[in-house]
Amino acid sequence: MITEVKLVTVAVADLARSRGFYENAFDYVCLGEGVAEGPEYEALWNMPPGLRGRVAVLGPRGATSGLLRLVEFDLPGERIWGDYSSPQDYGHYALNIRVPEIQSAITRIREHGGHGKASPTHWTVTPELSAWDSQSYDPDGVVVDVFQLEAAGGSPLADYDGRCSALQTVALHTSDARQSARFYAALGFRPLYDKVVEGMEGFFGLPEGTALHNINMAMPDNTAVGRIEIAQYVGFPGVSQRDRAVPPNLGILSASIETADLQATAELLHSIGAEPMSEAVEVAMPGEPGPVRAQTYYGPDGEALEFFARR
């Protein structure tokens, strides 16, 4: 069994500052703390030898998926995406969080150290689903996409407890949305929607005439959080950020997925052509009661995917 995205690892410059931002802007709480260091983590995360990271796992109280794993390394790094002047490039790009009311969410983001990127825009996803969507930056310049969802009864996303959600999706810019969707479908993800969006160039900061091919992939038994949002800017090609999305650089480093059988998952990944970043290693994972067995692979556009199994 392979699950939805359990954690998204984000490297930050100041752990206390970033914790304060997510705790105050989204009512997240700390669900685990620890360190990432030693040969095992160096292999798993493609870390330089001797680098050490302090870790805090955050999310809504009681959440077990779609969690945010913040890491402050003991050496400075550059922003993976720089000033986002090349938004067409490929890799993990944004954190998406559902909020009860868009304007108050934006106010809280700005009050607690974030700043705006794109004003709220209303767009229709499907006849049963529309959203007010807004993009902001967290204190390290990571794109945080907050949205107020309007879901008709019977929609997979209709159930909502009225709180700021865990990470509903991690957004992935890709060179070929269909190819990427086939890769994640092989892992068990299924499309919630598959849509080509036009007329949103101003919101996304794209050249005129660029369409967005958006495929939102979810595990069938948990559509609420931990999804993969695949985004291709049609007619506006980019390059992979694989070589920049490594410690101690700042931004989204990887998405972590749990599996009941790491060896079987490795065999599946090899069968679909995934390239391993590391051998399987045993590590203490903050937030988990005991050690886990983990291995990292690259997705189709060089995005790092960490698979782990509880011991």
Measured CA to CA, the distance from residue 298 to residue 78 in angstroms comes to: 21
Reported residue count of the chain is 311
- DSSP 8-state symbol, 166: S
Contact 300, 183 (CB under 8 A): yes
What b/e string do you get for 162-183 counting C-beta neighbours within 10 Å, with b at 16 or more?
Answer: eebbbbbbbbbbbbbbeebbeb
Measured CA to CA, the distance from residue 259 to residue 305 in angstroms comes to: 12
User: Do 123 and 211 belong together in one domain?
Assistant: yes
Query: What domain range includes position 141?
Result: 91-234
Strands 2-12 and 29-36: what pairing?
unpaired
Measured CA to CA, the distance from residue 307 to residue 13 in angstroms comes to: 25
User: Do 229 and 252 belong together in one domain?
Assistant: no
User: Do 17 and 57 belong together in one domain?
Assistant: yes
**Per-residue pLDDT reduced to its tens digit, 215-253:** 999 999 998 899 999 999 998 999 999 999 999 999 999
Which of 234, 257, 287 is the endpoint of a domain?
234
User: Do 168 and 210 belong together in one domain?
Assistant: yes
- When the pLDDT of each residue in the chain is averaged and rounded to a whole number, the result is 94
**Per-residue pLDDT reduced to its tens digit, 104-160:** 999 999 999 999 887 888 877 777 778 888 999 999 999 999 999 887 777 777 788
Measured CA to CA, the distance from residue 217 to residue 16 in angstroms comes to: 32
User: Do 228 and 291 belong together in one domain?
Assistant: no
Q: What is the pLDDT of residue 120?
A: 87
Question: What global pTM score does this model have?
Answer: 0.94
Number of domains in the chain: 2
> Which band of pLDDT confidence, cut at 50, 70 and 90, is reported for residue 30?
very high
Edge-to-edge strand list for the sheet holding 190-197? 115-126, 129-137, 143-151, 91-98, 167-173, 227-234, 211-218, 190-197
User: Do 95 and 211 belong together in one domain?
Assistant: yes
